[in-house]
């Protein structure tokens, strides 16, 4: 069931109606209703894979209890064994369903060189959201092992934590320390909270339907038939893809956060104006925050973080981004995408002193708008280059696309690019440009409030501790801050302004979303991961 479908438009109000019809004092009944709704939501893709979801859930539920008991009896080795078994079973499930054919393909390439018989691929359908809910469940067992939380004894409550439908299939990858405890809280019918949730969902639909799906019209035509396009046209499509994937995945996230908020739950932010970043490290503070945080806590720190010297830090960073690329898909193109971003971060960290000397020599003012703009543009083009590998169907295709860009650039072609060659009418193109301007305005406002809040917090920290306001997190790849809530700002305005925003967004979604009134629902990009 897709968030941008008629089915969800029917499903969600029914869930809300029955949830709030149950008195708040009957929390267990409310939670059981949400659990039924969540499994029904998931089974709309493939009912059989609900058993897989339950299997992963039950293994980590049982592991949490056994780890806690072993810890209470001071049997640390047994606790480690329970943690290891939990990880092994879940990673094994993920490997089989997501990577087995990728593994077979690469083994066959080796066998082909030796003349041996090749293995046949397996007919397996990738369960939607498997990477997300397995990581969330494994994070829970690690939190129990680290004694950040107590193991929950209520199986239904834990099942709901893993399967909570707003964020089940594409995140955010929630922490047990945030979401699990919320199922014990009272969630009353609050009109202000519901209005904020619905506005958040409306913005998510706008990002997905109006921007992402419209951008896909040109991007798909170029990447599916790149030999027919010039290098400059491919570059344009790649730049557009940076915003397509942001609006597609960011749109899903806002729909998830908004849906949860209507019900009274708070999910973590997953995006914080990523293309306002002034460095690649800053970009990863803002992009897919829940996954970056997961890898920091459960992979980077266990590897040693930055406690064992510069070289070990760089190796750990490389490993994290290699695994991050592989997490996104069973293809070497995803791995290369991850590795490129890892190299960016390593180079950025290794050249801090040299870059600082250059800035001092040329008397560069870092507080100037021109400096921030230049850094932002460089960051965007570096990140966008890596997106080419993410979007290409394979590593070989990515290499061929790069060749097409280099040997058939034809920059003059951009000025003569006909609108109909892009697949848009002039009216659609104008509407898309207006939508992009609204996106930029939203992110600029969000970034301005975020930076202002961050600076105020740093000054307060300096006053209270006497320490520098710079990031103090010793063991982190990047430090993430709390994104600003633009929706609350909109809702604090006068009625005429609020309704202008509501109706304006709704009008653009219904009239100009993708193919206008002929729009057909499309899957979110991150559903394939």
Instruction: Name 169's Cβ contacts closer than 8 Å, sequence gap at least 6.
Output: 42, 45, 128, 129, 132, 527
Q: What angle do CA 172, 304, 65 make, to 5 degrees?
A: 55
* C-alpha distance from residue 411 to each of 109, 233, 420, 421 (Å): 39, 8, 19, 16
Residue located via tokens 């519901």: 194
Q: How many CA atoms lie within 13 A of 364 on its CB side?
A: 15
Asked if residue 200 and residue 166 are part of one domain, the reply reads no
The C-alpha angle with vertex 430 and arms to 425 and 433, in degrees rounded to 5, equals: 125
In this structure, the number of other CB atoms found within 10 A of the CB of residue 507 comes to: 11
What are the angstrom distances between the C-alpha of 36 and each of 15, 129, 167, 243, 381?
Answer: 10, 18, 15, 35, 45
Chain length of the chain? 529
> Mean pLDDT of residues grouped by 10 in the chain (529 residues)?
85 96 93 96 91 96 96 93 96 94 90 77 87 96 95 96 93 92 92 95 94 92 93 94 96 95 94 95 95 94 89 95 94 96 96 92 88 95 97 94 92 68 81 94 90 70 54 57 76 92 92 62 71
Contact between 406 and 399 under an 8 Å Cβ cutoff? The reply is no
pTM metric for this prediction: 0.91
Q: Is residue 382 part of a domain?
A: yes
In a domain? residue 317: no
pLDDT for 470 equals 42
**Close Cβ partners of 8 (under 8 Å, ≥ 6 residues apart):** 1, 2
Single out the residue of 56, 11, 4 nearest to residue 37, CA to CA.
11
Check residue 37 and give its pLDDT: 97
CA distance 517 to 204: 18
In a domain, 458, yes or no: yes
**450 in any annotated domain:** yes
Check whether residue 70 and residue 92 sit in a common domain: yes
pLDDT the model gives residue 171: 79
399 inside domain: yes
What stretches of 268-394 show up as alpha helix (H) in DSSP?
Answer: 280-286, 289-295, 301-303, 310-328, 332-350, 352-361, 369-391
CA 409 → CA 229, 239, 266, 314, 425, distances in Å?
Answer: 9, 15, 47, 35, 25
Is 328 noted as a catalytic residue in this protein? Answer: yes
Residue 35 and residue 144 in one domain: yes
The per-residue pLDDT for 254 is: 95
Are 439 and 519 within one domain?
yes
In a shared domain, residues 25 and 140: yes
Is the preceding omega at residue 172 within 30 degrees of 0, hence cis?
yes
Cα dihedral sign, 383-391-42-198: positive
Whether the CB-CB separation of 242 and 383 falls below 8 Å is answered with yes
Query: Domain limits at 249?
Result: 196-279+363-463+473-528
210 and 158 together in one domain: no
Return the residue matching tokens 């945030």: 178
179 and 240, same structural domain?
no
Among 162, 186, 210, which residue terminates a domain?
186
Q: Which residue has the tokens 């992110």?
A: 443
- Which of residues 158, 186, 214 is at a domain's end? 186
212 and 93 assigned to the same domain: no
Flag whether 114 is in a domain.
Answer: yes
pLDDT of residue 469: 42
Are 372 and 236 contained in the same domain? yes
Same domain, 159 and 223: no
Q: Does 96 map to a domain? A: yes
CB 227 within 8 A of CB 176: no
Choose the final residue of a domain: 157, 186, 215: 186
Determine the Cα–Cα distance for residues 296 and 339; give it in Å rounded to an integer.
16
User: What helix, strand, coil percent values describe the chain, rounded to 5?
Assistant: 75, 0, 25
Cα(462)–Cα(468) distance, integer angstroms: 6
212 and 76 fall within a common domain? no
User: Does residue 352 fall inside a structural domain?
Assistant: no
> Domain tally for the chain?
2
Q: Provide the H-helix boundaries in 466-527.
A: 486-491, 495-512
What is residue 362's predicted lDDT score, i.e. its pLDDT? 87
- In this structure, the answer to whether residues 79 and 10 fall within a common structural domain is yes
Catalytic residue among 187, 288, 328, 448: 328
């Amino acid at each position: 069931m897709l968030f941008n479908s008629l089915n969800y438009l029917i499903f969600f109000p029914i869930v809300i109606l029955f949830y709030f019809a149950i008195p708040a004092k009957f929390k267990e009944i409310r939670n059981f209703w949400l659990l039924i709704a969540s499994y029904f939501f998931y089974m709309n893709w493939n009912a059989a894979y609900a058993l897989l979801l339950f299997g992963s859930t039950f293994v980590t539920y049982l592991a949490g209890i056994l780890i806690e008991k072993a810890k209470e009896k001071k049997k640390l080795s047994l606790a480690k064994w329970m943690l290891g078994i939990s990880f092994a079973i879940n990673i094994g499930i993920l490997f089989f369903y997501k990577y087995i054919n990728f593994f077979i393909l690469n083994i066959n390439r080796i066998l082909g060189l030796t003349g041996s018989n090749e293995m046949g691929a397996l007919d397996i359908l990738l369960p939607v959201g498997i990477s997300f809910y397995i990581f969330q469940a494994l994070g829970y067992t690690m939190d129990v092992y680290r004694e950040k939380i107590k193991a929950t004894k209520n199986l239904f409550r834990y099942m709901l934590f893993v399967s909570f439908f707003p964020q089940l299939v594409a995140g955010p990858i929630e922490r047990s320390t945030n979401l699990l405890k919320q199922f014990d809280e009272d969630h009353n019918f609050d009109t202000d909270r519901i209005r904020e949730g619905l506005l958040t969902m409306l913005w998510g639909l706008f990002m997905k339907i109006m921007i992402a799906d419209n951008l896909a019209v040109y991007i798909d035509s170029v990447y599916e038939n790149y030999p027919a396009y010039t290098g400059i046209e491919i570059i344009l499509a790649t730049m557009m893809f940076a915003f397509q994937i942001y609006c597609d995945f960011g749109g899903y996230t806002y729909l998830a956060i908004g849906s949860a908020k209507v019900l009274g739950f708070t999910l973590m932010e997953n995006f914080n104006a990523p293309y306002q970043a002034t460095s690649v490290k800053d970009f990863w503070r803002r992009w897919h925050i829940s996954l970056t945080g997961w890898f920091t806590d459960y992979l980077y720190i266990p590897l040693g973080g930055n406690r064992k010297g510069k070289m070990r830090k760089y190796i750990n960073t490389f490993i994290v981004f290699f695994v991050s690329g592989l997490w996104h898909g069973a293809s070497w193109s995803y791995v290369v995408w991850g590795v490129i971003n890892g190299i960016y971060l390593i180079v950025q960290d290794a050249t801090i002193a040299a870059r600082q000397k250059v800035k001092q020599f040329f008397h560069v003012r870092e507080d100037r708008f021109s400096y921030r703009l230049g850094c932002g543009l460089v960051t965007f083009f570096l990140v966008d280059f890596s997106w080419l590998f993410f979007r290409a169907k394979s590593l070989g295709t990515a290499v061929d696309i790069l060749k097409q860009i280099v040997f058939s650039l034809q920059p003059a072609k951009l000025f003569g690019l006909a609108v109909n060659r892009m697949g848009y009418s002039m009216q659609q193109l104008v509407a898309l440009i207006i939508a992009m301007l609204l996106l930029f305005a939203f992110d600029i406002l969000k970034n301005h409030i975020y930076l202002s809040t961050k600076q105020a917090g740093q000054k307060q920290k300096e006053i209270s501790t006497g320490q520098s306001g710079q990031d103090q997190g010793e063991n982190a790849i990047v430090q993430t801050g709390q994104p600003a809530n633009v929706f609350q700002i909109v809702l604090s305005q006068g009625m005429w302004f609020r309704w202008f925003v509501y109706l304006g967004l709704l009008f653009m979604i219904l009239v100009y979303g993708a193919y206008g009134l002929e729009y057909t629902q499309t899957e979110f990009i991150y559903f394939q991961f």
